[in-house]
């Protein structure tokens, strides 16, 4: 499932436990270990790119706190 944080950026969340921490290397949830479907990741990528495209059109608002997902460890 996809959430949107207060700044409008999409966040991918686990279908099973609702947490937002994923092991992107393995495509699994950190919290409950459930597999993240490829469609969910693809959908999230589209939402993220739409968000970036929207923000790119607004001058002076390049830096949105919290908009970036945590870096891969
Ligand atoms: Zn989970």
Number of domains the chain is built from: 1
**DSSP code, position 35:** B
Rounded CA-CA distance 46/25 in Å is 19
Task: Tell whether 54 is covered by a domain.
Answer: no
What's the token pair of residue 44? Answer: 């999230």
Residue 37 CA, ligand 1 centroid: distance in Å: 12
Task: Tell whether 58 is covered by a domain.
Answer: no
Q: How many residues does the chain have?
A: 73
- pTM of the predicted structure, to 2 decimals: 0.63
Task: Tell whether 13 is covered by a domain.
Answer: yes
pLDDT recorded at residue 47: 94
Residue 12 CA, ligand 1 centroid: distance in Å: 11
pLDDT at residue 72 tops 80: no
Domain interval for residue 40? 2-48
Residue 56 CA, ligand 1 centroid: distance in Å: 32
Banded model confidence at residue 48, pLDDT cuts 50, 70, 90: very high
pLDDT at residue 51 tops 70: yes
pLDDT recorded at residue 50: 94
Task: Tell whether 21 is covered by a domain.
Answer: yes
Task: Tell whether 62 is covered by a domain.
Answer: no
Task: Tell whether 53 is covered by a domain.
Answer: no
């Amino acid at each position: 499932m996809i959430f949107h944080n207060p700044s409008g950026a999409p966040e991918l969340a686990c279908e099973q436990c609702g947490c937002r921490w994923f092991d992107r290397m393995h495509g699994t949830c950190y919290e409950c270990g459930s597999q993240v479907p490829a469609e969910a990741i693809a959908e999230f990528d589209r939402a993220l790119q739409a968000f970036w495209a929207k923000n790119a059109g607004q001058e002076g608002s390049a830096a949105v706190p919290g908009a970036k997902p945590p870096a891969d460890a």
